[in-house]
Chain A
Amino acid sequence: MQFGIFSVSDITTDPTTGVTPTEAERIQNIVTIAKHAEEVGLDVFALGEHHNEPFFSSSPTTTLAYIAAQTSTLQLSTATTLITTNDPVKIAEDFAMLQHLAGGRVDLMMGRGNTGPVYPWFGKDIRAGIPLAIENYALLHQLWREHVVNWQGKFRTPLQSFTSTPRPLDGVPPFVWHGSIRSPEIAEQAAYYGDGFFANHIFWPKEHTQRMVGLYRERFAHYGHGDPDQAIVGLGGQVFMRKNSQDAVKEFRPYFDNAPVYGHGPSLEDFTRETPLTVGSPQQVIDRTLGFRDYVGDYQRQLFLMDHAGLPLKTVLEQLDILGSEVVPVLRKEFAALKPAHVPDAPTHASLLAAKQADEQKEEATA
């Protein structure tokens, strides 16, 4: 099982000091955070994409390539790549390029984005979010698998004899996850292609995740990709830890109370009960996280949100230290012991390449 962190790239004032990091600081900090994720033994770093303030991450492949150059094992991903407002041709090119530079340590997560005004800036309409996600991804999927593409659709200009370059590394397209909170069409899309499904699993009650993952698993089997429990599932999660749980609650409360998304609303206690947010000791985080399996089954990837709501860099790095030394080693062992042998791990470039070579040998043998 893969463990990692994901960032929504918000630039938020630290409510305890009133200090707002500059864009320059926050961008350097995210590189430090990603590198530290590898140092503490995490597997994945995923970065969001936004085209409005107060977020800095408009160009994830640039950032991820820079991180790739300074890491050696870290899997680089997104959370999410906007399949609605980006041109699928540019996604195909950018991520194939990143895949080559990073030696295959790349996958990506498709998302629609939820901010109405962003769509028209890119010539799109949020009301067409689902049709955009469906058509654009179908094209992206084709561009990575067919050398010469002739294509016509509703949302972008047609393609005649187009080849997306560079071609995916070793002829193996990056693995794709589809992220959604509560749109059954997206779970269906992930199932149709046999891609991964990632449930955001932060800020929302677990019932959303349970229903969406259940639908995805059922439809994954329907489309003939394997048994329901062989579908590839990722979950988000949000934690804040200190040795003593009271200290964690005390330190995190001002960040919680003033956070974007849920701040000035429910109490920390309400929100930890109603959503997967866990604020407490490392052992509490371990117990809660192991419990996710009870409602989604054995899953392949767990990403934690660690760097939002104005938490200072020093605190985020400390959180990564705790995650890497006390939490993830236990989770790895416990989840591995529970997972049946027929449930696959999250695909990587190496595993996808091995599968491709095995298929090719099988074809040669029968030819």
Chain B
Amino acid sequence: MKQRTLVVVSAGLSQPSSTRLLADQLSAAAVTAAAGSGIELTVRVVELRDLAHDIANHLLTGFPPADLKDALDAVAGADALIAVTPIFTASYSGLFKSFFDVLDKDALTDKPVVIAATAGTARHSLALEHALRPMFAYLHAVVVPTAVFAASDDWGADSADGTLAARITRAASELARELDHREPATVADPFALTVDFKDLL
């Protein structure tokens, strides 16, 4: 089995949170799908609620406190990412956006990503396509074609066999395919010198 890492970023605010629930279902499906391709996924979940103050402080001071740095490093070093946000006011939540604002702009380049969101009604579902997908495209991430949206209705009693489960499985399979044909992620050292000084002169 190949060893790969998956980081799941969840921006849910309530506890328990439907955003986290969706994140966990996507994560479990990704582990299963990856195993089918001979990949053993190690999963780390980053709850942005726990980092909310750190994120605000990073915006103000320009550097991450230790816990946030650890989370940002985990995302940058991950082989794949699942990013899940509640939809607030027709878009991703401010906390979700702020986390990606303080992430190094090159950290997601060529990284396979599943985007997912939760909201009260299905009317918000296209926020995934008009807000999340362009943001990750800007960051040069490889966003899989299936974006997963869960409204309150989707958490009904028969949801495990319903369309939400089918979308989760499909997105997870797409992520596993992207993982399968990639080398492990590498992280550039920001302090490494990449040019010869004589070439700069």
Interface residues of A, Cβ cutoff 8 Å to B: 130-131, 134-135, 138, 182, 184-185, 188-189, 192, 203-205, 208, 211-212, 215, 219, 261-266, 270-271, 274
Contact = CB atoms under 8 A, between A and B. Distances in A.
6 contacts: A134-B201, A184-B193, A215-B193, A262-B61, A264-B60, A265-B61
Given A135-B201, A184-B190, 13 more contacts: A130-B200, A138-B201, A182-B190, A189-B197, A189-B200, A204-B63, A265-B61, A266-B57, A266-B61, A266-B65, A271-B61, A274-B63, A274-B66
B57 A188 contact: no
Nearest to B196: A188
A245 B16 CA distance: 43
Contacts of A189: 197, 200
Interface in B184-201: 190-193, 195, 197, 200-201
Q: Is the interface of A mostly helix, strand, loop or mixed?
A: helix
Contacts of B197: 185, 188-189, 192
A185 B199 CA distance: 11
Interface string B136-180: 000000000000000000000000000000000000000000000
Contacts of A266: 57, 60-61, 65
Contacts of B65: 266, 270, 274
A262 B191 CA distance: 24
Contacts, number: 51
B56 interface: yes
Contacts of A134: 200-201
Contacts of A205: 63
Contact of B191 (A184, A203, A271): A184
A184 B197 CA distance: 10
Contacts of B63: 204-205, 208, 274
A185 B197 CA distance: 8
Would you list the 3 A-B pairs with minimal beta carbon distance, nearest first? Answer: A265-B60, A211-B191, A266-B57
Nearest to B200: A134
Contacts of B192: 184
Contacts of B60: 262-266
Contacts of A270: 57, 65
A146 B200 CA distance: 22
Contacts of A263: 60
A203 B61 contact: yes
A182 B191 contact: yes
A185 B62 contact: no
B201 A188 contact: no
Contact of A261 (B56, B61, B193): B61
Contacts of B66: 274
A188 B191 contact: no
B18 to A, nearest CB: 31
A197 to B, nearest CB: 13
A131 B62 contact: no
Nearest to B66: A274
Interface in B47-104: 56-57, 60-63, 65-66
Interface in B11-61: 56-57, 60-61
Contacts of B201: 134-135, 138
Contacts of A215: 191, 193
Nearest to A131: B200
Contacts of B61: 203, 261-262, 265-266, 271
Contacts of A185: 193, 195, 197, 200
A87 to B, nearest CB: 19
A165 B158 CA distance: 86
Interface string B108-120: 0000000000000
A263 B60 CA distance: 8
A17 B201 CA distance: 50
Given A185-B200, A189-B197, A265 B191 contact: no
B193 A188 contact: yes
Contacts of A138: 201
A262 B56 CA distance: 11
A118 to B, nearest CB: 18
Nearest to A264: B60
A185 B60 CA distance: 26
Nearest to A191: B197
B164 to A, nearest CB: 40
A295 to B, nearest CB: 14
Given A134-B201, A204-B62, A265 B190 contact: no
Contacts of A204: 62-63
Q: Which of A188, A208, A266 has the most CB of B within 10 A?
A: A266
